[in-house]
Amino acid sequence: MWVRVACEPVSRPEGHVIEGVIKDLSVVRAAQGEVRRLSNRLSTTLEELTDAFFSLDKQWHFTFVNHETERVLQRPRDEIIGKEIWEAFPKLRGTAFEAGYRQAVESQRKVTFEAYYPPRHAWFETTVYPSEEGLTVYCRDVSERKIAEEEVQRLAFYDPLTGLANRRLLIDRLKHSLARLRRQQRCAALLLIDLDNFKLLNDTAGHDRGDALLREVATRLRQSVRSSDTVARIGGDEFVVLVELQTRSGEVSARRAASVADKVLRAMCVPFPLTDLLHHASASVGVTLLDGTINDVGEALRQADLAMYQSKSRGRNAVSFYDPGMQAAVAERVALQGDMLRGIEVGQFHLHYQPQVDEHGNVTGAEALLRWQHPQRGWISPATFIPIAEESGHIISLGNWVLETACRQVADWRRMPGRERMTMAVNVSAVQLRRPDFVQTVMQTLCATEAPPDSLRLELTESLLLHDIDDTIAKMEALRAHGVGFEIDDFGTGYSSLSYLKRLPINVLKIDRTFVRDLLENDRDAAIVHTIITLADSLGIGVIAEGVETKEQYDDLQRLGCRAFQGYLFGYPVPAGEFCTRKDLEAACGAVPAA
């Protein structure tokens, strides 16, 4: 029996006595023992749980942590009991865990959520119970279930052989893309790629090699587009690529789509190593442009399919556009690209030279201008074939040929009496300048042709200077150190900047012909020309006025302070043989401008 005794001394007439009260506590003590027993049983149960369980007080301090929580959090309980959760685990801030805990506190309702916990590389289903004391949190590891769900998702939306999106996922993404294109009024391209003669490989080399080829094709397609684009296998040897073009212009979209299709086609033409077999493959590509006017996914796929079969009918290994108008333009570019390669090989490209003169009409140099004489099309404008050369990569071989031919020519001219200071201006494309071996290529060409470095002037456009200006300056300074000069072409029409004029090692600014053309009628053009000349003089940079066609323009430019000129007034671009027979070249000094 448990009792509580309370007593006190009391004085009475008969003497001192002790009075007290005795209370039977047996029931209370029994109840307290039962509470301790139940508490111990609960603690033991919570400790034996295979799921994490912990509690927090209203100040976010840990008040209880079971063994599984220690394992999950990778911290012993004596390190975290009594500590604030955000102090002990600061990386939980801003996560779904913090959001869930705070939601439970604010709503005073049970909250359940799933979240990924990076330190354990695991997914947890977490249930948070609010109470007057704080929060009780129960976490169950559901990683296996999530993996199973992801596998179901993969099987439902991805091709098991290649890992690409399957038809179901493609259709879903295409639906969303069509809706987005309508809202944003932008364009996309849908490419349908069919491998040529794939059945023959399966029949002769076996399905295992056929599967290996499909996996390799999938890899190359992924590498040919951005990660944000969709690549899908929709069955057999058919693949689809959905490319967001981020443009509104149909012509620009067609060009970008053609560039992607050409990249895909070239990727398919590289031999595929299949274990003991080197397989040569090709593909037929159909392209349809999506501009927001197509609402039906099936229609978009049908258009791409029809275009693909058009490629098949053209002999395979080709690209065809569904739209007839754009198809004609793309076919023209593709044809020119093929003709260009043959033209380089058989010598259809020529250099013509246009004289550059000083204020007295003396020829001081020439600009080398590339011309293409096509056997069927005749002379093709550089404005037509240069962009194609840059997109296809042919500009490298063309540019190297131009540089070598021009250097060889100016070297020959400098050997003639009275022409020892002749210079040659050669246009350089962005593709050439960005190559890491550009400086080496120029110097090797000068050495091979025996052209003095100070005879060469490389012409750059303003827009070319926008990209990686530090690399451009480093290459220019390396060549300038050897004596090579630089001219900025079409100055004033691009992104003119005083900052790059200050930094770049420039010899000459070429005033664009658009300012010269209306010089006599437009005061603003005259003011711009005068400003350019004054600016160049103050920076120690020379100036050449382009497009001088009349004596009046020539006189007015001289009045404004210009001392170098180029244009039809002094001579049209002509082959080297005709250039060398000009009287003003023969005279070298004291010549007058040709009418």
The pLDDT tens digits for 226-260 are 988 999 999 889 999 999 887 777 778 888 899 99
Closest CA relative to residue 238, chosen from 298, 178, 309, 187: 309
| Residue 423 phi, psi (nearest 5) | -120, 160
Burial class (CB in 10 A: 0-12, 13-18, 19+), 132: exposed
Task: Answer yes or no: is pLDDT of 587 > 50.
Answer: no
Residues 74 and 44 in one domain: no
CATH code (residue 80): 3.30.450.20
Residues 201 and 273 in one domain: yes
pLDDT digit string, tens, across residues 184-213? 888 899 999 999 988 888 887 888 889 999
pLDDT digit string, tens, across residues 147-161? 888 877 777 788 989
Residues 99 and 208 in one domain: no
Report the number of distinct structural domains present in the chain: 4
Residues 234 and 302 in one domain: yes
CATH code (residue 381): 3.20.20.450
Does residue 7 sit within a domain? yes
Share of the chain above pLDDT 70, in %: 89
Q: State the average pLDDT over residues 16-40.
A: 64
pLDDT at 137: 92
What's the CA dihedral at 298, 301, 306, 310 to 10 degrees?
Answer: 180
**Angle in degrees, CA 472, 477, 478, rounded to 5:** 100
Task: Answer yes or no: is pLDDT of 581 > 70.
Answer: no
Q: State the average pLDDT over residues 432-451.
A: 94
Picking from 30, 48, 66, the residue at the C-terminal end of a domain is 48
Average pLDDT, the chain: 86
Task: Answer yes or no: is pLDDT of 546 > 90.
Answer: yes
pLDDT at 18: 72
- Please say whether the dihedral angle defined by the alpha carbons of residues 581, 583, 587 and 593, taken in this order, is positive or negative: negative
Residues 463 and 576 in one domain: yes
What is the token pair recorded at 88? 């002990």
**Residue linked to tokens 């849908």:** 190
Kindly give the interhelix angle for 382-392 and 324-346, rounded to the nearest 10 degrees: 80
Residues 8 and 110 in one domain: no
Contact present, 95 and 126 (Cβ < 8 Å)? no
Residues 400 and 490 in one domain: yes
Residues 60 and 42 in one domain: no
Task: Answer yes or no: is pLDDT of 500 > 80.
Answer: no
pLDDT digit string, tens, across residues 342-397? 998 899 999 999 999 998 888 999 999 999 999 999 999 998 899 888 878 889 99
Can you give 90-128 as a three-state secondary structure string? HHHCCCHHHHHHHHHHHHCCCEEEEEEEHHHCEEEEEEE
What is the token pair recorded at 554? 């020539």
pLDDT digit string, tens, across residues 75-110? 898 888 999 999 888 988 999 999 999 999 999 999
Host H or E run for residue 353 = strand 349-358
Residues 136 and 234 in one domain: no
Spatial distance between the Cα atoms of 188 and 290, rounded to a whole number of angstroms: 5
CB atoms within 10 A of CB 549: 14
Share of the chain above pLDDT 90, in %: 46
Residues 425 and 567 in one domain: yes
Residues 43 and 105 in one domain: no
What b-and-e string marks burial along 42-57, b requiring 16 or more CB atoms within 10 Å of the CB?
eeeebeeeebbbbbbe
Name the least confident of 148-157, 287-296, 425-434, 553-562: 148-157
Residues 136 and 243 in one domain: no
Does residue 331 sit within a domain? no
pLDDT at 495: 56
pLDDT digit string, tens, across residues 32-43? 665 566 555 545
Picking from 293, 322, 351, the residue at the C-terminal end of a domain is 322
pLDDT at 501: 77
pLDDT at 591: 40
pLDDT at 327: 55
Q: State the average pLDDT over residues 140-145.
A: 88
What b-and-e string marks burial along 342-354, b requiring 16 or more CB atoms within 10 Å of the CB?
ebbeeebbebbbb
Spatial distance between the Cα atoms of 198 and 519, rounded to a whole number of angstroms: 64
| Residue 94 phi, psi (nearest 5) | 80, 5
State the residue range of the domain holding 106: 49-145
What is the token pair recorded at 394? 């042919």
pLDDT at 450: 95
Work out the pLDDT band at 594, boundaries 50, 70, 90.
very low
pLDDT digit string, tens, across residues 355-367? 999 988 889 999 9
